[in-house]
Chain A
Amino acid sequence: EVQLVESGGGIVQPGGSLRLSCAASGFTFSNYWMNWVRQAPGKGPVWVSRIKSDGSGTTYADSVKGRFTISRDNAKNTLYLQMNSLRAEDTAVYYCGRDRNYYYLDVWGNGTTVTVSS
């Protein structure tokens, strides 16, 4: 079964850090670009970051550039999102998604919740 499972979310104070993980199974992880998408409570999904299949290229939404770092370990079939200098507006459910044709996400994880609050 093709599956993505996120972990690492939690409650953190403003200015703090968290690292999210996304474990992939059931497909050849190293063949696919991957994305992080977040969704604030009651809002629509918002793209956060993307990484190429071999990790050679990354892109970020302006709102997280310089604070978040996407990476992957193809030997471990795992995607990561290092989040630093967290702000209240980063509070959201974070999903990882498998990229197809450079835009649509055909497989999504179950999400992990990040809450930034003092």
Chain B
Amino acid sequence: EIVLTQSPATLSLSPGERATLSCRASQSVSNYLAWYQQKPGQAPRLLIYDASNRATGIPTRFSGSGSGTDFTLTISSLEPEDFAVYYCQQRGDWPPLAFGGGTKVEIK
């Protein structure tokens, strides 16, 4: 079973700053890595799939990179609506999809 570890658990930043979120897999997931944003009381929202492809309607300030075991989600300049929890998620043999523990991006 592949385990995804996200860091840091909490990121305290100000609007306009750059956010860098990390997701590390316990073994290679190739580029089968997605990122989601979740705000309180809402469902997760797909941001990035296949490690670096932005989903439909996602602003260009969101970008993903990495392959194998190390992945990064970057928000180039935080907008007020970007403060939320972010999850990475992988495709695996078993379970077929699994999520990381999340990174909360909070206002400093």
A100 to B46, CA, bound (A): 11
In the bound complex, do residue A101 and residue B87 qualify as a contact, i.e. CB atoms below 8 Å apart? Answer: no
Complex interface: chain A residues within 8 A of B96 (CB): 47, 50, 59, 102-103
> A44-B87, A105-B46, A106-B55 given. 9 additional CB < 8 A pairs?
A45-B87, A47-B96, A95-B43, A101-B49, A103-B91, A103-B97, A104-B49, A106-B46, A110-B42
In the bound complex, do residue A46 and residue B49 qualify as a contact, i.e. CB atoms below 8 Å apart? Answer: no
A46 to B69, CA, bound (A): 20
The 9 nearest A-B residue pairs measured at CB: A103-B91, A104-B34, A108-B43, A104-B49, A103-B97, A45-B99, A44-B102, A47-B97, A106-B46
Complex interface: chain A residues within 8 A of B99 (CB): 44-47
Complex interface: chain A residues within 8 A of B101 (CB): 44
Whether a CB of chain B sits under 8 angstroms from the CB of A61 is: yes
Q: Mark B76-108, 1 if CB is under 8 A from A, else 0.
A: 000000000001011100011111111000000
Complex interface: chain B residues within 8 A of A104 (CB): 34, 46, 49, 89, 91, 97
In the bound complex, do residue B32 and residue A45 qualify as a contact, i.e. CB atoms below 8 Å apart? Answer: no
A50 to B95, CA, bound (A): 11
Complex interface: chain A residues within 8 A of B50 (CB): 101
A104 to B48, CA, bound (A): 9
The chain A residue with its CB closest to the CB of B55 is: A106
Number of residues in A with C-beta < 8 Å to the partner? 20
Whether a CB of chain A sits under 8 angstroms from the CB of B39 is: no
The chain A residue with its CB closest to the CB of B102 is: A44
The smallest C-beta distance from B33 to any residue of chain A, in angstroms, reads 9
Q: Mark A82-108, 1 if CB is under 8 A from B, else 0.
A: 000000000000010000111111101
Supposing A47-B95, A101-B91, A103-B34 touch, asked if A111 and B100 sit within 8 A by C-beta, the answer is no
A106 to B49, CA, bound (A): 9
Complex interface: chain A residues within 8 A of B45 (CB): 108
Complex interface: chain B residues within 8 A of A61 (CB): 95
The smallest C-beta distance from B19 to any residue of chain A, in angstroms, reads 19
